[in-house]
Structure 1
Amino acid sequence: MIEGVTVGQAGPEDAVGGVLPRWVALPESVEEVAAVLRACAERDLAVVPTGGGTKLHWGAPPERCDVRLDLSRLDKILEHAAGDLVVRAQAGVTMGALAAALADEGQELAVDAPEDATVGGTLATGAAGPRAFRYGTPRDLLIGVTVVLADGTVARSGGKVVKNVAGYDLGKLFTGSYGTLGVIAEATFRLHPLPAARRWVRSEVEAADLPGIAAALAASQAEPSAAEVERPEPGARPVLAVLAEGAAAESRAAALRELVGGGEISDAPPPWWGLVPRDETLVEARFPATGLAAVLEAAERAGLALRGSVLSGRVLLAPAAPVEAEVLAGLRRRVEAAGGRVNVLAAPHAGLDRWGQVSALPLMRRVKERFDPGRRMSPGRFVGGI
């Protein structure tokens, strides 16, 4: 089909949201990605880029999927400028492999992601982990990107040094776009030195006390890097875990323990720390600091387990069964009243309003028209059917 590119017939395991592609293409370079997209453009074939598949069930099913573009063979770390605290990697590099390579130089990409997730997939879904409170999201750490557009055009923006941020908007546009604008092929990130030490404070708290505790943690001179909460079922006492890292981590953890009202200090996180549920149904709530109490109450009323950050305002809600439209509407109403929003990241059935009201939707549709006028890139996967 395409000279030099491995292309095969798709099987049931290649389905995206229940939509089975006709072919799977496995390019091994940016040039091969471009060749695949040019060939698809000539034949009006719809393409869904994929990485490690850890979040492939996120987003709506594509309206059509002719070619699954498997980026797993773009798995090279192209450059690590340790002196500049910068790394450039292909989209198919797993976060675990990247972390291991950077650790050899005493550095890290401060993004908490599953080890088998890929660089491209982490960016495409806009996933953020516990330490986003201190370091920012993957989009904040991205300083350069190479993308391939729907017609096969290769575009680059940003640079490999932190002070060169020309074209950074391209990285912002593609991060969190679920592959609907084009293919993220390479990414350049700003790094941080590995902390000398890490200590976690773990404590059971009362749900009613959490908003006050979170406010105290955010203002604390002990400077926590993250604070994660888990409530495995409605009515259970939440478990709070707070991370101190870097200089004097032990003494700072002791100060944080006083703030949360006691608990134990450990040099290892709880097993659920930063873990992204791979449930068929997964709901996300994002909210300002003032909205935490409302989100806790809304999740309780909806009967949803809860896990996420009380500092950066993002929690994941996992129901025991597929969430009903009425339950979702009530949850969304309460969270939006507190200044937040609710997204259905994954759901096994259609008919749910996955994204709610999005004020920027007209602009997002214009961007989609600009980058993918033929609607060949993951059509329908994102907000508003984009």
Structure 2
Amino acid sequence: MGTPHRELDGICALRPAGPQDQVGGVAGSVVATPATTEEVSALLAACHRQRLRVVTRGHGTKIGWGRPPEALDVILETTRLTGPVEHSRGDLIATAGAGTPLARLQEVVGQAGHQLVVDDLVATAGGPGSTLGGAVATNLAGPRRLWTGALRDLVIGVRLVRADGTVAKAGGKVVKNVAGYDLAKLLTGSFGTLAVLTEVTVRLHPQPRAARWVGGHLAPDRLAPVLAGLHRSQLALHGLEVRAVPGGAVEVSALLTGTAAGVGPRATALVEEAPDLAVGTSAPPWWGVLPGATGRTLLRTTARLSGVAELVEVATRHGLEVTGSAGVGVLHAASADVDDGAGGGAGASADVTAAAVDAVRAASVRLGGSTVVLEAPAEVRARVDTWGPVPGLALMGRVKAEFDPRRVLSPGRFVGGL
């Protein structure tokens, strides 16, 4: 079957886009699934010549994050960019294609007792989960960010294709690599607006021998003092999570990992420091799971550590469910509205949600952070600023113009319409 853009025929596997092939309600016309970096290069070169707009997609678990593109012709699907995982056991690094599922990467490196310390927040039972490239594009990070940092701190090298088809590499396959600009960090969290990743090299960590969770339910007014004590703890927490729902108790859970002989006494010592909590052997069911349901408005909101409890209070007071990393001040908040397929959250419901977004954003800015609307029904998006105020926007615009002057890649999806 032919495709609407005959100039792309023969470059890689193509198919006409179907009803499901849209980004933020903007439909594409062609889905391309290149299998090699060379095919990605040829595809982007052709799109650049023809001024076709391209959005990159892995498993599509985060395809609704960010703004809808201002135009869309080609969906570049990375699911064939997998290949074998190159695992350097002695150096604690791994290299994999951008379309490799995170779960598959973890399975391979786990055979040597290693792990990529990234929590797949969007993974669901039986679902595809994130790809490595999709995780990098959105700088995915979950509870264990407190231990090793976000994914941007674990990416040490990438192979990429620029919007005009130029193939380039950044970083390398060793941890100590300081030559040149750190383009790998620049691309991490750029939502596919600067280049298409085809290969990623990441730093690994050993899997711990044992883990304990210390947690419990708190009255809302106990959250601030309990978190303050946990923030001061010298017991090397590897995760500190909070969950709160409007009108309910607040849950706190801390993760300790290490040797079997050492983790138990540390957990006991932590309970002595925080007597509101108790020792457990498994994570709570909400650990590492985004709040809300499909079709909800989802925010990522941040604050300095001393402001986390107040930010949680503001969000729940405005009807939002909250989960997130209280140990680093990065939370996710979700509304109860659901997209019913006809504009979801319409009318008063969208107004209420928009007011909640504004309140949370005002609080987060006052507390030293920011708020981004990751996902929302169309009626809510029309009422809110997705990204909010962003310093350095002019510089970011110049970077976009240098990498993608014709605005081929995901135009309009990122901050300030980049």
CA–CA separation in structure 2 for the residues paired with 1:270 and 1:167: 43
How far apart are residue 339 of structure 1 and its match?
Answer: 1.1
CA distance in 1, matches of 2:14, 2:311: 46
Please point out which of 195, 205, 209 is paired with 2:208. 195
Match of 1:90 in 2: 97
With normalisation by structure 1, the TM-score equals: 0.96
> Secondary structure of the residue that 1:84 maps to in structure 2?
coil
Q: Does 1:256 align with 2:270?
A: yes
What letter is aligned with 1:338?
Answer: L
For 2:35, the equivalent position in structure 1 comes to 28
Shift of 1:279: 3.1
Q: Which residue in the other structure is 1:211 paired with? A: 224
Tell me if 1:332 matches 2:361. yes
* C-alpha deviation, 1:262, in angstroms: 4.2
| Residue 266, structure 1, aligned to residue 285, structure 2 | no
Question: Is it true that 1:245 corresponds to 2:277 in the alignment?
Answer: no
Deviations 1:31-57 (A, max 9, x none): 111111011111110000011111111
Match of 2:372 in 1: 343
The one-letter code sitting in structure 2 at the alignment partner of 1:306 is: V
Separation (CA, whole Å) in 1 of partners of 2:138 and 2:180: 20
Coordinate RMSD, CA, aligned: 1.5
Question: 1:207 deviation in Å?
Answer: 2.2
Aligned to 1:289: 305
Q: 1:52 — aligned with what? A: 59
Which consecutive unaligned segments of at least 5 residues does structure 1 have?
none
Change in Cα spacing, 1:80 to 1:40, as seen in structure 2 (3 Å) is same
Letter in 2 for 1:308: G
Distance 1:136 1:76 in 2: 27
Aligned to 2:96, the other structure's residue is in SS state: strand
Contact (CA 8 Å) 2:11, 2:42: kept in 1 or not?
no
Q: Which residue is 2:113 aligned to?
A: 106
Distance in 2 between residues matched to 1:118 and 1:77, nearest whole Å = 14
- Post-superposition Cα deviations, 1:34-84, rounded to whole Å, max 9, x if no partner, equal 111011111110000011111111111111110000001112244110100
Q: Bigger shift: 234-243 or 252-261?
A: 252-261
- The answer for the alignment partner of 2:3 in structure 1 is none
**Following superposition of structure 1 onto structure 2, how do residues 9-24 of structure 1 map, counting pairs within 5 Å?**
9-24=16-31
Structure 2: gaps (5+ residues)? 1-7, 124-128, 338-344
Secondary structure of the residue aligned to 2:20 is helix
Partner of 2:410 in structure 1? 378
| TM-score using structure 2 length | 0.89
Deviation for aligned residue 1:264: 4.0
Q: Deviations over 1:131-154 (max 9, x none)?
A: 111100000011111111100011
Instruction: Give aligned pairs, total.
Output: 385
Deviation at 1:286, TM superposition (A): 1.1
Check whether the contact 2:218–2:276 (CA below 8 A) recurs between aligned residues: no
SS of the residue corresponding to residue 105 of structure 1 reads coil
Matched, 1:71 2:71: no
Query: SS state of the match for residue 335, structure 1?
Result: helix
Distance 1:166 1:52, change over 3 A: farther
